[in-house]
Structure 1
Amino acid sequence: MDINPSTFELVARFCYGYKIELSSENIVSVLCIAYYLEMSDDHSSNNLLNMAVTFLEQRVLMSWNETMKALRICTERILDKLADVGLIEVFLDSLVEKALNDTRLLQDLITLPLRLYEPLILELSKHNVSIESLVASVCNYTKRWVFEKDSGDESFSRHKREVIEAVERLLPHERGTISCGFLFQSLKESIFLDACSDCRKGFEVRISSQLDMATAKDLLILFPKEDGSYDIELLKRILKIFYSNYNVSDLSRFVSIARMLEDFLLEAAASDAGLRVGAFKALAEITVAASCDVLRYSDGIYRAIDVFLEWHRDLIESEKMEACRVLECKKLSSEACEHASKNEKLPLRIVVQVLFVSQTQIRNNVAREMKDVEKKTEDQVDEDDEMEKMSKKMLSLEIEPGYSKKRKIENIECAVHCEKKKKSVWREVKRKFGCMTSTVKACDCHNKKRKKTYRY
């Protein structure tokens, strides 16, 4: 086994009877050497192995910080020796007990070697620790040992590959528990580090399960590849997994995916000046397939094409046509059609198609308006017909046998009744005003009233 020079000196001093200072930084190495040299009490009382074990129990394992100090400096060979003597379980049990009492301590675990970190997280996941705390710890561990570490050394790349594979095993599969950006970055690293197929597939599945929650910037993390190309098959594979897990009742998710891909196509066209026509067309075809029967208009695809042609002014007409081939002019809004009809960057053939679509839209709008007018006219005609029918019905009633004669009699009776009613009302009015008595005639009353003089 490897022996640190300072640790070897400490053991030698102990053998010669000198007093030695044990610490959290050297206790693990001392334990391993004492065990390897069989420095137990079988040879002498209070031997080094017994002294080291006592120090470990009373000074190290009782404290979270001291335990972490002791484990941070452990090499693979020392960990092998700790496993041989059964001390790894002792350390892990101590850390688990303390972490369960205070989950904030989980962030300290990211400094531990992977061989200790993975079993710790697995053990904690079996207890009542929130999934958010575990995910936060795993994500921070990945950022420290994979995302932020950069070295061309083969052994270090191998270590990063081991870490990313372990991270995939530790992460939960629940939708929405991990950020989309982290998942895309992890997938990219797993591809770059040539991680095992299970690891790459695991990240693809997690991404697909919440793809509708991703943004165009998340998707751009994966692209382009190191050589500037786009892994079209990878994108298709992720989309295929997504669509296989959801049905038409989840229409809002389909709409989110379609809009995200439109934004991604636009971002790719705007940010990647080296994007070739073939790659742009392939991405555009995927976007069109996702938006088919989901989005009403193809304005987003048109905007991406416009930006792509702006960045590639040197394209010949056939190349421009190749980039525009996916555009469905009939699905452009009237505003997009108006813009496209004046867009000098577009191939002439596309402009002609746009003009034809514009004319068709105008004709359809006019036809629709005319149809509305005709509908209103028909409604009015129907109403007039109803009135005419009602009038005819009334006339038919008047010409029935005996009806006219009966109607005249009723009119006469009504007139007499009304006249009587008028007279009685008039008499009542005059009576109320004192114009009618049993002894005075109406004319006298009239004369008397004329004799009155009013002063104001």
Structure 2
Amino acid sequence: MDEYCDLEVDVNGEEVFMVHKGVISSYSGRINKIFGKSKGLAGHLKVIFNDFPGGAANFELITRFCYNKGKVNINPFNITDLTCASHFMEMNKLVAQTEKSLDEIRYWTWSELMMVLKKCQIVLPKARSLGIVDKCLDSLIGRVASSCEMSPCPSTSSPDSSMFRLSSDTRSTESLKNNFIRATWWFEDLLTLDTCVIEMLVKLMVSRNFDQGIICRFLFYYQKSRFASATPDEKIKIVETVIEMLDSLDIRSVSYKSLFGMLRVALNVNLSQCSRDKLESMIGSQLDEASLDNLLVPSPVKASYLYDVNLILRFLKSFLGKDACCVPLTRLNKVARVMDLYITEVAPDPYLKPLKFLALIRALPDSARDSCDGVYHAVNLYLEVHSGLSEEEKMKVCCGLNYEKLSSEAFNHLRENANFPSKSAVLAVISQQRKLKGLLEDTNELANLSDSPFNSFETVLQKGRKDEGSEQQIVLYAKKLNLSDENEKLKAHLQGMQWRVVELEKVCRKMQTQMTKMIKSRLSNQSNAKSSVPRLCS
């Protein structure tokens, strides 16, 4: 028998096989090409394969095929190995048989499909290039879809629910439970698949218009279930794959609560910056769905401050996008309400810098808040805790307030508030802002008056004269302050406000002259009209 074993085959350094060159080459085009031009060679021949798919076990399978005169029992257990090995060895007869078996994949059981996919993971690049993985996943998705009683409407607006649009008057609780089980029964079986196969599965599901709410639920289930037994490197791969897949879905189908759960997991693994950015962008784009508890994320390790303020600022940037004007006002209002709670919560942090606190206040546009009482409360708390701030630093924080949106109660409290800069320009700024607003409102009213214009004009002018001292006080105080280059803007702002008041007074005087002429003209016309009307007989 030894005389017939004239070819030595080293398979991936795992094992060396002694085979008959003539028998193997009669079925293998690859072997035939190697020795086709050296038929006269005698003695011991050797071939080394360093990249044989499936290793020594697969090579043994194809040698049995050759020695059995081209006959082999192809089944789901060995079809992956035989397909990959036959293509590698250029065994056309075996390739034809495996392709025929793959065409009958629709008759395989669920367990057989899962078995083939697990086998494909061992030789994934080759199995994927040969289309075995796609055929199995296609069949898999078809069976999942046919077993689920899907709602006509994709479940996109209620990702935290059971993922079904079911009518409460036609479906009982038991029916809801059954539908949920029918939609998720396959979750557990797919936990054995690697992240690469899961990624292919999800992409194929999306292309087939599979319910994205179900996909989202599965991805979170997969991450949670696989995490416990995974190595540190596997954990990173799992989280990054899940984030990548979630990012490919319609954001409305992704559970916001689960995203924050994913964020807390991501904080403990060394994710790539790309994956971290995608996760933060998904959360930020739906920031109006967040609660205060969601936002209270602990600061990174070794950071002195308590909460991760920089993370929240990045969320806000994602929420506002390139143009904050495009964000609906209702959504802005929701974010403003939760942000007011957040800045109040972080204000007592002794390590929170003034500029960072001010950035939180100014992150949203002024239109997002109908009232600034919440911001005032947070600023007051911040100044109370950070009593050691310089006058200049306090002024920077105070500049974040829109005093025009303070309620009367908050405004009165501010007047007596010792936490704010002593004898500062804050109250002067408030007075000036309110005076300007009042002058504008009164001027608009005068444009529509037809009677007694003089009293209204006198009221406006008296208001302007009354506050003239305040104007001078503002400018003088601004000059006395030891302002840095950064605070020159404040000084210019105060002086600009004084200039606008003076201009408004000029406009008012001009309008007063015009209205005087109009009234005299009207009185003259009325007098002429009365003299022309005949007296009635009594």
Q: In the alignment, what sits opposite 1:144?
A: 225
Report the identity percentage: 19
Q: Distance in 2 between matches of 1:209 and 1:387?
A: 63
1:176 is matched with which residue: 239, 252, 274? 252
2:187 is matched with which residue: 101, 107, 110? 107
Q: Distance in 2 between matches of 1:371 and 1:84?
A: 75
Following TM superposition, by how much is the alpha carbon of 1:191 offset from its aligned partner in structure 2, in angstroms?
A: 5.6
Q: In the alignment, what sits opposite 1:454?
A: none
User: Given that residues 142 and 167 in structure 1 are in contact (C-alpha distance below 8 angstroms), is that contact kept between their aligned partners in structure 2?
Assistant: yes
Q: Distance in 1 between matches of 2:207 and 2:74?
A: 34
Q: Distance in 1 between matches of 2:450 and 2:388?
A: 50
Is the aligned partner of 1:263 residue 2:345? no
Q: Distance in 2 between matches of 1:166 and 1:236?
A: 26
Q: In the alignment, what sits opposite 1:326?
A: 397
Following TM superposition, by how much is the alpha carbon of 1:243 offset from its aligned partner in structure 2, in angstroms?
A: 3.6
Q: In the alignment, what sits opposite 2:235?
A: 160
Following TM superposition, by how much is the alpha carbon of 1:394 offset from its aligned partner in structure 2, in angstroms?
A: 4.0
Q: Who wins on radius of gyration, i.e. which is larger?
A: 1
Question: Which whole-Å deviations, capped at 9, do the CAs of 1:246-303 have from their partners, x for residues lacking one?
Answer: 352535144444444323212334xxx655131x640332322424354354322222
1:64 is matched with which residue: 110, 117, 134? 110
Q: In the alignment, what sits opposite 1:202?
A: 278
Q: Aligned in 2, Cα 1:363/1:208: closer, same or farther, shift over 3 Å?
A: closer
Q: Distance in 1 between matches of 2:430 and 2:75?
A: 90
Matches within 5 A, 1:36-115: 37-38=60-61, 40=64, 53=77, 62-64=108-110, 70=115, 77=122, 88=133, 91-103=136-148, 104=183, 105-108=185-188, 111=191, 112-115=193-196
Matches within 5 A, 1:48-447: 53=77, 62-64=108-110, 70=115, 77=122, 88=133, 91-103=136-148, 104=183, 105-108=185-188, 111=191, 112-146=193-227, 149=228, 156-171=231-246, 172-187=248-263, 189-190=265-266, 192-221=268-297, 223-228=298-303, 229=305, 234-246=311-323, 248-252=325-329, 253-269=331-347, 274=349, 276-278=351-353, 281-292=355-366, 294-308=368-382, 312=385, 315-318=386-389, 322=393, 325-328=396-399, 330-331=403-404, 332-343=406-417, 346-347=419-420, 349=422, 353-354=426-427, 357=430, 378=452, 389-390=525-526, 392-396=528-532
Question: Which whole-Å deviations, capped at 9, do the CAs of 1:159-189 have from their partners, x for residues lacking one?
Answer: 1111122123212353422233433444554
Which amino acid counterpart does residue 131 of structure 1 have in structure 2?
Q
Moved more, 254-263 or 76-85: 76-85
User: Given that residues 284 and 326 in structure 1 are in contact (C-alpha distance below 8 angstroms), is that contact kept between their aligned partners in structure 2?
Assistant: yes
Following TM superposition, by how much is the alpha carbon of 1:158 offset from its aligned partner in structure 2, in angstroms?
A: 1.1
Q: In the alignment, what sits opposite 1:420?
A: none
Which blocks of at least 5 consecutive residues in structure 2 are unaligned?
A: 1-10, 12-53, 81-100, 149-182, 456-517
Which amino acid counterpart does residue 108 of structure 1 have in structure 2?
E
Q: Distance in 2 between matches of 1:245 and 1:227?
A: 32
Q: Aligned in 2, Cα 1:141/1:54: closer, same or farther, shift over 3 Å?
A: closer
Following TM superposition, by how much is the alpha carbon of 1:378 offset from its aligned partner in structure 2, in angstroms?
A: 1.0
Q: Structure 2 length as normaliser, TM-score?
A: 0.51
Following TM superposition, by how much is the alpha carbon of 1:375 offset from its aligned partner in structure 2, in angstroms?
A: 6.0
Question: Which whole-Å deviations, capped at 9, do the CAs of 1:12-50 have from their partners, x for residues lacking one?
Answer: xxxxxxxxxxxxxxxxxxx999646428466679x9975
Q: Distance in 2 between matches of 1:385 and 1:95?
A: 91
Q: Distance in 2 between matches of 1:42 and 1:161?
A: 44
Which blocks of at least 5 consecutive residues in structure 1 are unaligned?
A: 2-30, 399-403, 416-456
User: Given that residues 168 and 199 in structure 1 are in contact (C-alpha distance below 8 angstroms), is that contact kept between their aligned partners in structure 2?
Assistant: yes
Q: Structure 1 length as normaliser, TM-score?
A: 0.58
Question: Which whole-Å deviations, capped at 9, do the CAs of 1:42-82 have from their partners, x for residues lacking one?
Answer: 6679x997577499999x984436755x5898897587898
Q: Aligned in 2, Cα 1:394/1:305: closer, same or farther, shift over 3 Å?
A: closer
Q: In the alignment, what sits opposite 2:42?
A: none
Aligned to 2:364, the other structure's residue is in SS state helix
Q: Distance in 2 between matches of 1:349 and 1:74?
A: 76
User: Given that residues 132 and 177 in structure 1 are in contact (C-alpha distance below 8 angstroms), is that contact kept between their aligned partners in structure 2?
Assistant: yes
Following TM superposition, by how much is the alpha carbon of 1:383 offset from its aligned partner in structure 2, in angstroms?
A: 10
Aligned to 1:318, the other structure's residue is in SS state coil
User: Given that residues 195 and 238 in structure 2 are in contact (C-alpha distance below 8 angstroms), is that contact kept between their aligned partners in structure 1?
Assistant: yes
Aligned to 2:188, the other structure's residue is in SS state helix
Aligned to 2:253, the other structure's residue is in SS state coil
Q: Distance in 1 between matches of 2:108 and 2:340?
A: 57
Q: Distance in 1 between matches of 2:320 and 2:212?
A: 27
Moved more, 83-92 or 185-194: 83-92
Question: Which whole-Å deviations, capped at 9, do the CAs of 1:221-249 have from their partners, x for residues lacking one?
Answer: 4x422334455555444444444443525
Aligned to 1:118, the other structure's residue is in SS state helix
Number of residue pairs aligned between Structure 1 and Structure 2:
357
Following TM superposition, by how much is the alpha carbon of 1:142 offset from its aligned partner in structure 2, in angstroms?
A: 2.7
Cα-Cα RMSD: 5.3
Following TM superposition, by how much is the alpha carbon of 1:335 offset from its aligned partner in structure 2, in angstroms?
A: 1.4
Q: In the alignment, what sits opposite 1:25?
A: none
Q: Distance in 2 between matches of 1:320 and 1:184?
A: 39
